[in-house]
Copies of this chain bind each other. A is one copy, B any other.
Amino acid sequence: MPRVDLETAKEVANFNIEEYLKHRKSVIDRALGRYLKACSQHPQTLYKAVHYGLFPGGKRFRPILTLACGELFGARQRALLPFACALELIHTYSIIHDDLPALDNDDLRRGELAAHKVFGAGIALLAGDALLTEAFHLMTRPQVVRALESTLVLDLIHEIAHAAGIGGMVGGQVVDLESEGKEVDVATVDYIHVRKTGALIHTAARVGAKIGGASGKELRRISRYAEFLGLAFQVTDDILDAEGLSGTTGQPEGRDRERRKATYPGVVGVAAAKGRVQELLERCLKEVEGFGKEADPLRGIARYVTERVQ
């Protein structure tokens, strides 16, 4: 059964998702800052480029999900943070590489210049490589290994590497790249979404639940919750882009359409895409129905992600 600590109990009594996300983001930012400090004696340009990619950063959606799913099962933040932060390092590497001239050639990221516009494509490429590598360095630090069962740590790393690799994020990016400007069907759009953004979100939730010691049944619920959430997240982003509303997220508007990217609203239209988001939200909520108020963060996250298009 899910356990709940005092701090969480206090929040649950008067749950406020905005406050929750703000607090968890500050926890993640502090931890990322600590890990990054350990790299500050290395080549300054590289350190600066990595720092630029990580801060101020975005919503910290993936690591917050790891914390939320871990805390639901009573895991301590200290045990969760290295994996939560590793996932953020991997996410950050992927967007730095994505923005490079060789891929999307985006000049802006979250309203600021993309890393390659500030440091050049060579340093940005290497900063991405460094972030991906340091994620694995972080997850195998002696203090991490001491705090958890070694076999669990290896299982988590294996799952994260799978989600980020050929069968996950990188595989999705390749199909995304190859689908640009082509007529695609819903199955292809789903293939891309499930891998390119879904895999890491799914894994972020599972890693938290596994560290918290979720039972097989609980883990399956969290997995499905995160699968629907990841898809809802991506379809919502696509709708915002299609409606030219993504200026609020700092992304250039209408870029997907301009580039003829494979998107859900592009294939089924905006109205049907909104219907799908609603359906995915309901599925998310249904999966966590069996939990008590201690799952309010997961409910809040699902509503928060999707309400931008409701």
Q: Which residues of A contact B (CB under 8 A)?
A: 39, 42-43, 45-47, 50, 93, 97, 100-103, 116, 120-126, 128-130, 132-134, 136-137, 140-142, 145, 150-151, 153-155, 157-158, 161-162, 164-167, 170-171, 173-175, 177-178
Q: CB within 8 A of A100: which of B102, B133, B141?
A: B102
Secondary structure call for the A interface: helix
- A177: which B residues are within 8 A, CB to CB? 122-123, 126
Determine the distance from Cα of A253 to Cα of B76 in the docked complex, in whole angstroms. Answer: 57
User: A182 to chain B: closest CB distance in Å?
Assistant: 13
**Min CB distance, A47 to chain B, in Å?**
7
The reply to whether A171 and B46 form a contact with Cβ atoms under 8 Å apart is yes
Closest partner residue, chain B, to A168 (CB atom): B133
Most buried by B among A137, A153, A164, A178: A137
CB distance from A206 to the nearest CB of B (A): 15
Contact A137 B158 (CB under 8 A): yes
Query: Which of B45, B116, B154 contacts A145, CB < 8 Å?
Result: B154
Q: Knowing A102-B102, A150-B150, A151-B150 touch, does A140 contact B125 (C-beta < 8 A)?
A: no
Query: In the complex, which of the residues A116, A133, A165, A174 has the most CB atoms of chain B within 10 Å of its own CB atom?
Result: A133
Smallest Cβ distance from A22 to chain B, in angstroms?
A: 30
Contacts of A93 in B (CB 8 A): 129
Bound: A197/B119 CA distance, A: 24
- Asked whether A102 and B121 contact (CB < 8 A) given A136-B157, A153-B154, A166-B46, the answer is yes
The CA-CA distance from A178 to B45 in the complex, in Å, is: 9
Complex formed: what's the CA distance from A299 to B43 in Å? Answer: 34
A39, B167: Cβ atoms under 8 Å?
A: yes
- A112, chain B: closest CB distance, angstroms: 20
State the Cβ distance, A83 to closest chain B Cβ, in Å: 13
Q: List 6 A-B contacts (CB under 8 A).
A: A102-B120, A123-B174, A126-B174, A128-B129, A136-B161, A145-B154
